[in-house]
Structure 1
Amino acid sequence: MTLSKALEADRNGQIERAADEYESALAHDANDLVAIVNLLVLYWQSTDYGFSLAHRLSQPFIANAGTRLGQLLNTARERFPECPEVLFWTRYIAWADRGDAFDPDECRVLLKRYPDYLEPAMALFSLSQSKEAADMAIELLNRCRADNTTRSRYVASVIEGVLKRKKFTQV
């Protein structure tokens, strides 16, 4: 199964191989939501200089990642217009990359409408400087540590960063 190969490569930090496997999974099942969202976050992270340098990504791969990220975001919005993962990551990436407006109320609405989907808690926890969604953020952090994909490592790093800042401001 290609998705399992993609997840394995992703968890092992084999970014280019993981991307190839996610792409293969999508060629087999264009509606595989896990493959779509994991791949778009992987591509998004791959366009970050520090991430690409740390993982020794090739220039052609990075260029393709930037192109495919836009394509995947558009495809995901078309195929899954009401999917919380797609709604969240579309808005979050636009905010993080371009500085688009991102109202914390968007996260609150997603968390209320989709209580099992916790990734908006990461953003709300961060945007509120740890004043909101702390319990959900910690639960999400534990899930992410167990999952260990690029997507999960990113989410965990944001939550851990907020926790570290909180610790330092309490000293």
Structure 2
Amino acid sequence: MVRVSASTTARPNFRDRCQRSRQQRTACADAASLQRRGGSGGDWKLQRQHRGSRRKDEMMIDFDELADVAKTIAWYKSNFFEGCEEDFVADFMVFCWQAVDPGRVASLDLDDETVDACADMLSELKLFVDERCGEWGAPAFWRRYIDWADYAADFPLDECKRFMRETVGYLEPSFFVFTTTGGAEMRSEVMAIFAEYSQSGKARATYVRSVIESRLATESFYRRSL
């Protein structure tokens, strides 16, 4: 009988070594891919463990978001995690939505990779809002508003007003009520939001300001024509 040593029986054969090597290479590639993606998709929980204690003042953006779309989406991705504040989610979603606007894509001459990244992230954020955000907060409002603006989805004024009733101090939906009613409703709320957003470089604030300004300009033109 031939005696086989323990070290010989424990040694993996050539096929096993190749299999483990392939698994290690795949794991490394997956980790590198995850890092390149900036933590989108299924690693929200992992990001929350590492960044859940980040202070609010560390998540402020200090540049014009739409002036450098590639820089901005990279910043948002690096700061996005499952437990982040709803205002941050709303900011991120509106930025992605505005970044893929055809007029902006053309004016900024955005490359396909950047546009695709924003479009993909917008889809992910919509799903994130549906599954993880409150029913009547800012992310949910913008989720409904974007579908109304892009796909003519029904968005009754009563539902819009409910966002303001359900979330104390949340006046942002007033711009939709104000413009839809031709300036007949929520003027004081709109002017408060307009003042609050007057110095912000966020795409969300810029968009709301532009909608309000457009309505006010229409009123001014009408008064001059009388």
Q: 1:44 aligns to what?
A: 97
Unaligned runs of 5+ in 1: none
Question: C-alpha separation between the residues in 1 aligned to 2:66 and 2:139?
Answer: 25
CA distance in 2, matches of 1:106, 1:78: 20
Distance in 2, matches of 1:48 and 1:164, equals: 23
Alignment counterpart, residue 83 of structure 2, candidates 5, 25, 31: 31
In 1, the alpha carbon distance for the partners of 2:70 and 2:164 equals 32
| Counterpart Cα distance in 2 of 1:100 and 1:12 | 26
Query: Which of 112, 118, 124 is equivalent to 1:71?
Result: 124
Cα distance between partner residues in 1 of 2:64 and 2:124: 20
Shift of 1:12: 7.3
Q: Distance in 2 between matches of 1:166 and 1:112?
A: 28
Match of 1:97 in 2: 150
Give yes or no for contact 2:100–2:119 (8 Å, CA) kept in 1: yes
Matched residues in 2 for 1:87 and 1:12: separation?
Answer: 22
Supply the distance in 2 between the matched residues of 1:66 and 1:11 (Cα, whole angstroms). 16
User: Among 58, 71, 76, which residue is 1:17 paired with?
Assistant: 71
Query: How far apart in 2 are the matches of 1:46 and 1:163?
Result: 25
Q: In the alignment, is the contact (CA less than 8 A) between 1:25 and 1:35 conserved in 2? A: no
Check 1:97–1:136 CA distance in 2 against 1; reply closer, same or farther (3 A cut).
Answer: same
Contact 1:125/1:133 (8 A) holds in 2 = yes
Q: Is the 8 A contact 1:3 1:21 kept in 2?
A: no
Verify: 1:121 aligned to 2:174, yes or no.
yes
Which amino acid in the other structure matches residue 15 of structure 1? Answer: V
C-alpha distance in structure 2 between counterparts of 1:125 and 1:165, whole Å = 13
Matched AA of 1:71: E
Relative to 1, partners in 2 of residues 1:115 and 1:159: Cα closer, same or farther, differing over 3 Å?
A: farther
- What is the TM-score with the length of structure 2 in the denominator? 0.69
* Count of aligned pairs: 167
Q: Structure 1: which 4+ aligned runs deviate by more than 6 Å?
A: none
Comparing 149-158 with 50-59, greater Cα deviation is found at: 50-59
> Structure 2 CA distance, aligned partners of 1:156 and 1:23?
25
Whole-angstrom CA distance in 2 between matches of 1:152 and 1:89: 12
1:57 to 2:57 alignment: no
TM-score w.r.t. length of structure 1: 0.89
User: Partners in 2 of 1:96 and 1:42 — Cα distance?
Assistant: 15
Q: Which has the larger radius of gyration?
A: 2
More helix by share: 1
